[in-house]
Every structure is written in structure tokens, then in C-alpha cells.
Amino acid sequence: MTEKEKQLRCEEFWNNDSEIRKAKVHAREMCRKLNAIPAEDNAAILQLAQELFSSCGEGLTLKPPFHCDFGYTISIGKNVLINFQCVFLDAAPITIADNCFIGPNTGFYTVNHPLNPDRRNEGYVYGRPIVLKENVWIGGSSTILSGVTIGKNVVVGAGSVVTRDIPDNVIVAGNPARILRSIEDLV
């Protein structure tokens, strides 16, 4: 099994493998091109995003600069906003459903390093998927950690660190993010 195949199965893989390195160089070059496009040229940004991501729905608004490790593990739904300075460390899949808003300076970190220092120092990593379901709003400067699923209609307060799954229809904030109240309480 190749290191890329291991990566796509969310197993530990060698981050210094030539195929992995080549994929990272390609993604960084694509991000460099994307980040050189003026923010108001959404058609050009969308065209490049469709090449970079595994899937990309209509109505994407992506405000450069944007950074990712691979791109091919990122799936974006319809009518998604990804604001300035977002970083997607996508060693594992990042799936963003329809109608999600992602505030500026937000990080999605699927990648982890082994606890064993020898494996870590040899360059092994692994990833756990991140999933945002429909209608999620992530406030600016938030961090979404590896293995997290955020439920439908969730609002994540600015500056939050999401370390575990969040159920549907709640507002969360803090470090670590905690449920503050239900969305239904506000309607």
C-alpha cells in the first residue's frame, strides 16, 4: 500500500514520501496562484478552487489568502463562504456542507503526530476527518481539531477551539468550545 493510500484511509503515513511531498508542492503552488487572484475576481477563484478541491459546489466565496496541504481531501458544498486567512491542514478529509460560513483566520487541523517520539521524529503523521454539516457558522479565529463533526445549524463563537463533536442546533464558544445554549431557544 502506498503512503497516499494510507493517508486516504486515515492511517498513519510517512509525510516525507515522494508522492506525498509532490502532492504538497502541487497544493502550495495552487494556493500561491489562488492567493494572487484579486479577491473581487470570484470567477477565477472558483475555477482554481474547482481544480484544487475534490469537489466544490456553486456559490463558493473564497477570500484569499487561503492555505492547504493537499486540496484533494477537501469537499465544499453550495453557498459556502471561506473568509480571509483560513488554513486547512487536510491530511484527512475536510467536508463542508451547504450554506456554511467560515470566519477569517480559522484553522481546520485534521493532522496529528504520533505520541511515540521515534515515529514522530521519523516524519510519520495521521489524520482524522473534520465534517461541518449544513448551515454552520464558524466565528473568526476559531480552531477546529482533528476528528470533529459539527452538527447542522451550529454557531461557533469567535476564537473558539472545537475539540469534540457538536450536536445540531446549538451555540458553542470557548477553549475548549462548550455548548452555551440551543438555537431553538432564540427562535
What are the C-alpha distances in Å from 99 to residues 58, 60, 75? 11, 9, 13
DSSP state at residue 35: H
Domain assignment of residue 115, given as a range? 3-186
Cis peptide before 176 (omega within 30 of 0): yes
Tally the domains of the chain. 1
What are the C-alpha distances in Å from 131 to residues 20, 118, 122? 23, 31, 29
Mean pLDDT across the chain, nearest whole number?
96
The CA-based angle 105-84-7, given to 5 degrees, is 65
For residues 164 and 176, is the Cβ–Cβ distance under 8 A?
A: yes
Active-site pick, 113, 119, 128, 152: 113
User: What does the pLDDT profile of the chain (187 residues) look like in tens digits?
Assistant: 999 999 999 999 999 999 999 999 999 999 999 999 998 898 999 999 999 999 999 999 999 999 999 999 999 999 999 999 999 999 999 999 999 999 999 999 999 999 999 999 999 999 999 999 999 999 999 999 999 999 999 999 999 999 999 999 999 999 999 999 999 766 5
For 34-64, the pLDDT digits (tens) are 999 998 898 999 999 999 999 999 999 999 9
Active site residue 26: no
In residues, how long is the chain?
187
pTM over 0.85: yes
State the CATH number of the domain containing residue 100. 2.160.10.10
CA dihedral 26, 103, 7, 98 (to 10 degrees): -100
For the chain, the straight-line distance linking the first and the last C-alpha, in angstroms and rounded, comes to: 51
DSSP state at residue 166: B
Reported as half-sphere exposure (CB side, CA atoms, 13 A), residue 49 has a value of 29
